[in-house]
């Protein structure tokens, strides 16, 4: 009988435990596994069990590839899957001032290794970009913060997960979330738990958040919360001031029970509506008992997805704790990518600290935000006219629409050449990559896709689908 992976695993376990009668390998007995000519590579893998069945491609990138292949074959395809800001003519939006900053970096500096934690001027600039200068009112937060440079916001999330959760523990996030949270967690032997994101009135579900956080703490003795506001991916939702105040109180109270780290992923924050940075006013409250983390990223902020520049900022009131955190997250840099892209770090520092360049890049971003805002307006108008149900959407790259069967909705839309991303209970639409004139087609396809799912649910006896 040929060996299968399972039978080899079973035999090894028996041998190691001594149950085979051969004894414990640690006592010096040498063990030779039976050689079997029938052992073939399609039956066993050299990978560890956890790694054998991993998907090689991100589902969103797979959908994008399919959409591109159909477009290349001549079909009229509308691809609203990809989370990068595109011009109406399909070109990637860029900010020219960023390239002026790149050009200003001396080659001998760009080519040298960056310090492991990132250049101190970069770290200072990122902290002040997040919380304001130490002399300003919210700037006291800056004075209580440390940071390291990371490979994009993704790197910051990784470092938070491995330093604020033990293996086997779960981070807590909203029921709709950016799926790489789960990939990073699984890859590092952690998990993801979620709570219901919206209440019956469509507002952020503070009660569900509080209950889940309490449960997390009672089960694992600590908690790492990951939020992504303003401009949440995938729903597009931004918390208002009242919701932030509620969140801050809940985090402060939870922090009295156990170590709590609250991370806000700022991937799309620069694209929020005016006033959406008011969340910072609530950090004092959280920081009374909790550590506040920020995943800062240049990817969307400077339309530099490929530069892989980000930072993990940690706000902690206690100086000793700050030092421990700074050491731990710097250690994680060394234990993963060592040093970040130095040209990118130096150019982004220039953009954040050189007054003239900063003014230019801010103006360029304002133009992009205006264009995206115009799309959001058209979308809201068209979607409301067709009675589509979705969370409050005031800006940002994405919006999600509820459906009883996301796969069926997506398949119905793909049949008419429109690509969106199905998730559990909703589909994600990337307005950032949808040309403004194509929005009416997108919304009409959404309507048909969601109607198909509702009809199917009704036919199967689900009376809750509207």
Ligand X SMILES: Cc1ncc(COP(=O)(O)O)c(C=O)c1O
Strand partners, 255: none
Cβ atoms of 341 and 309 within 8 Å: the answer is: yes
Helix (H, G, I), strand (E, B) or coil at 21: coil
Nearer to ligand X, 233 or 434 (CB): 233
Cα separation, 32 vs 201, whole angstroms: 66
Q: How far is the CB of 397 from ligand X (least distance, A)?
A: 8
Q: In whole angstroms, what is the distance from residue 147 CA to residue 119 CA?
A: 10
The three-state secondary structure class of 410 is: helix
Considering the complex, state which of residue 105 and residue 267 has its C-beta at the smaller distance from ligand X: 267
The token duo for 26 is: 């640690």
Sign of CA dihedral 320, 321, 322, 326: positive
Least distance (Å) from ligand X to the CB of residue 20? 48
For residues 263 and 150, the answer to whether their CB atoms sit within 8 Å is no
Please, which residue, 158 or 342, has the CB nearer to ligand X?
158
CB of 130 to ligand X, least distance (A): 14
Which DSSP string corresponds to 113-163? Answer: PPPTT--HHHHHHHHHHHH--TTSSTHHHHHTEEEEEESHHHHHHHHHHHH
How far from chain centre, in Å, is Cα 405? 24
> CB of residue 166 vs ligand X: minimum separation in angstroms?
23
Report the distance separating Cα 443 and Cα 380, nearest Å.
Answer: 10
Q: Which residues pair with 291 in a beta bridge?
A: 261
CA distance 380 to 369: 16
3-state secondary structure of 447: helix
Cβ-based nearer residue to ligand X, 165 or 217: 165
Q: How many CB atoms lie within 10 A of CB 49?
A: 10
As a whole number of angstroms, the distance between CA 44 and CA 351 comes to 52
* Residue number, 231 or 452, with CB nearest to ligand X: 231
Nearer to ligand X, 154 or 194 (CB): 154
Contact call for residues 268 and 397 (beta carbons, < 8 A): yes
The residue with its CB nearest to ligand X is 152
Q: Nearest distance from residue 282's CB to ligand X, in Å?
A: 20
User: Closest CB to ligand X among 234 and 255?
Assistant: 234
CB of 301 to ligand X, least distance (A): 9
Minimum CB distance to ligand X, residue 164 (Å): 17
Nearer to ligand X, 285 or 304 (CB): 304
Toward ligand X, which CB reaches closer, 153 or 404?
153
Bridge partners (DSSP) listed for residue 92: 86
Chain-centroid distance of CA 173 in Å reads 11
Distance in Å, CB of 307 to ligand X, minimum: 9
Tally Cβ neighbours within 10 Å of residue 382: 18
Distance separating alpha carbons of residues 105 and 111, to the nearest angstrom: 10
- Give me the least distance between CB of 386 and ligand X, in Å please: 27
| Minimum CB distance to ligand X, residue 50 (Å) | 23
CB-wise, 155 or 404, nearer to ligand X? 155
Nearest residue (CB) to ligand X, 43 versus 339? 339
Q: Which residues share a beta bridge with 265?
A: 295
Q: Provide the minimum distance between the beta carbon of 234 and ligand X in the complex, in angstroms, as a whole number.
A: 8
What value does the CA radius of gyration of the chain take, rounded to a whole number of Å?
25
State the residues that interact with ligand X by CB under 6 A: 83, 152-154, 178, 228, 233, 265, 267, 297, 299, 305, 310
């Amino acid at each position: 009988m040929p060996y299968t992976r399972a039978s080899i695993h079973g035999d090894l376990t028996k041998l190691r435990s001594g149950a085979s009668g051969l004894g414990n390998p640690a006592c010096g007995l040498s063990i030779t596994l039976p050689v079997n000519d029938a052992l073939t590579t399609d039956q066993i893998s050299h990978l560890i069990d956890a790694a054998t069945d991993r998907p090689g491609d991100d589902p969103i990138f797979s959908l994008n590839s399919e959409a591109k292949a159909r477009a290349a074959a001549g079909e009229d395809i509308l691809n609203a899957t990809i989370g990068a800001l595109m011009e109406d003519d399909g070109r990637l939006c860029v900010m020219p001032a960023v390239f002026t900053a790149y050009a200003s970096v001396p080659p001998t500096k760009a080519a040298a290794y960056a310090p492991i934690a990132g250049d101190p001027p970069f770290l200072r600039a990122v902290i002040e970009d997040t919380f304001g200068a130490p002399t300003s009112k919210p700037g006291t937060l800056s004075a209580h913060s440390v940071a390291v440079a990371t490979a994009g916001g993704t790197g910051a999330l990784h470092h938070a997960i491995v330093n604020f959760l033990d293996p086997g523990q779960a981070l807590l996030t909203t029921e709709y979330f950016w799926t790489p949270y789960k990939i990073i967690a699984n890859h590092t032997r952690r998990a993801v738990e979620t709570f219901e994101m919206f209440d019956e009135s469509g507002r952020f579900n503070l009660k569900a958040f509080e209950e889940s956080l309490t449960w997390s703490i009672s089960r694992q003795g600590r908690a790492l919360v990951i939020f992504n506001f303003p401009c949440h991916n995938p729903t597009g939702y931004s918390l208002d001031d009242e919701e932030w105040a509620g969140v801050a109180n809940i985090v402060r109270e939870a922090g009295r029970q156990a170590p709590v780290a609250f991370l806000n992923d700022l991937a799309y924050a620069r694209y929020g509506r005016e006033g959406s940075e008011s969340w910072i006013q609530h950090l004092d409250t959280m920081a009374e008992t909790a550590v506040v983390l920020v995943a800062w990223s240049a990817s969307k902020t400077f339309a530099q997805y490929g530069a892989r520049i980000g930072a993990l900022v940690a706000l902690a009131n206690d100086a000793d704790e700050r030092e421990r955190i700074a050491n731990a997250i710097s250690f994680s840099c060394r234990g993963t990518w060592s040093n970040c892209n130095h040209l990118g770090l130096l150019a982004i520092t220039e953009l954040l600290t050189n007054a003239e360049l900063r003014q230019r890049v801010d103006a360029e971003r304002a133009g992009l935000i205006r264009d995206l805002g115009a799309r959001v307006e058209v979308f809201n108008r068209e979607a409301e006219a067709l009675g589509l149900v979705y969370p409050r959407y005031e800006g940002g790259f994405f919006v999600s629409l509820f459906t009883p069967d996301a796969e069926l909705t997506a398949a119905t839309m793909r049949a008419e050449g429109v690509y969106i991303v199905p998730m559990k209970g909703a589909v994600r639409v990337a307005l950032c990559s949808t040309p403004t004139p194509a929005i009416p087609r997108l919304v009409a396809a959404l309507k048909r896709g969601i109607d198909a799912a509702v009809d199917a649910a009704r036919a199967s006896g689900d009376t809750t689908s509207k």
